[in-house]
Structure 1
């Protein structure tokens, strides 16, 4: 569907969904941390939807742009991580698991919101109004599902690894968390070798089907 658009149109369609997906993901982490007693992100002004407070030049701008311009059909990115101080939690392991899950859950909720926007476009049947809503909805669904599923992978420091770490005994959690220094390299290798696409192919397919059905597409 996106193949029908020119490069400029693709950029216009994708820019807002990408920025919102990445920004809200980080705000969700900080908001959940605040619920458990850690106000670090709040005190540093990171609980805001102002994207300028969250932009990471590489993860928010350069990488998504490269993926978009090279027509990979797979776009993701990241923002500056919100600061979380687990020492402020009464139950650090449980709290960190829920703080980690807040990001992917926020992306799934946003995917649903974009699907409903696309559905409005489908129902209106007025081309100059419908098509922007549908294209934006498809982009919003795609980027949010990509962020949710990638972040649920058990590769430190992704959110899924925080859940796994919280379930492991202390010693094994410590050993497992030491992989964090290699996490970015692992992701780059998976991306370069299409390993990431192979791992996520079936989850992405069925998730897209579910949300596209919601959108009436």
Structure 2
């Protein structure tokens, strides 16, 4: 359950959603309530902002709340720095930090001139080659938003994750009107396609908010379900 809490942190859709490339925001801030077993267990904040000279930073931070805060007092954060390569997101730096007694730090530096990434974790540093369109495991959410804005249905991303390259696949599965803390919102349902059905992840992405997920539901191997629901948004 905590694993997802941390990581949290083509064609025409038809009907409500026309086929055009929507402009992508220069910055935004969104907050979410995180629940499990009908209890509030945390709060998440996702934020995008320009850094100057064509670079951006994207942060996804989670804070334990309620009963969980009594057991896990650590703040956990993912930080990405990136820029555009043509119309694609090209990551430059990824950092993960988990505080507390079992703290952990991970850093991934992308060297596109050499076509490699440098991974640092547990006091060790190593390199590995990466394909040209590789993303980090934080900014893929932004890539998903951009591709939805282009009218795409199916998505496949190479992700530098855990010292190796993984393929994240997603597919459009429907449309849904969703009641949120920000009012009723029309959404596209996007599911992550996994080789095993032991875990399931579904995103409710809202055209109104540049296809930002306004709800995320993740089911773990033990059937624990984690839900993120948006409760604040600003640009």
Measured against the shorter chain, the TM-score band is under 0.3
Q: TM-score, normalised by structure 2?
A: 0.23
Structure with the bigger percentage of strand? 2
Q: Which has the higher contact order (CA 8 A, sep 6+)?
A: 1
Q: TM-score, normalised by structure 1?
A: 0.25
Structure with the bigger percentage of helix? 1
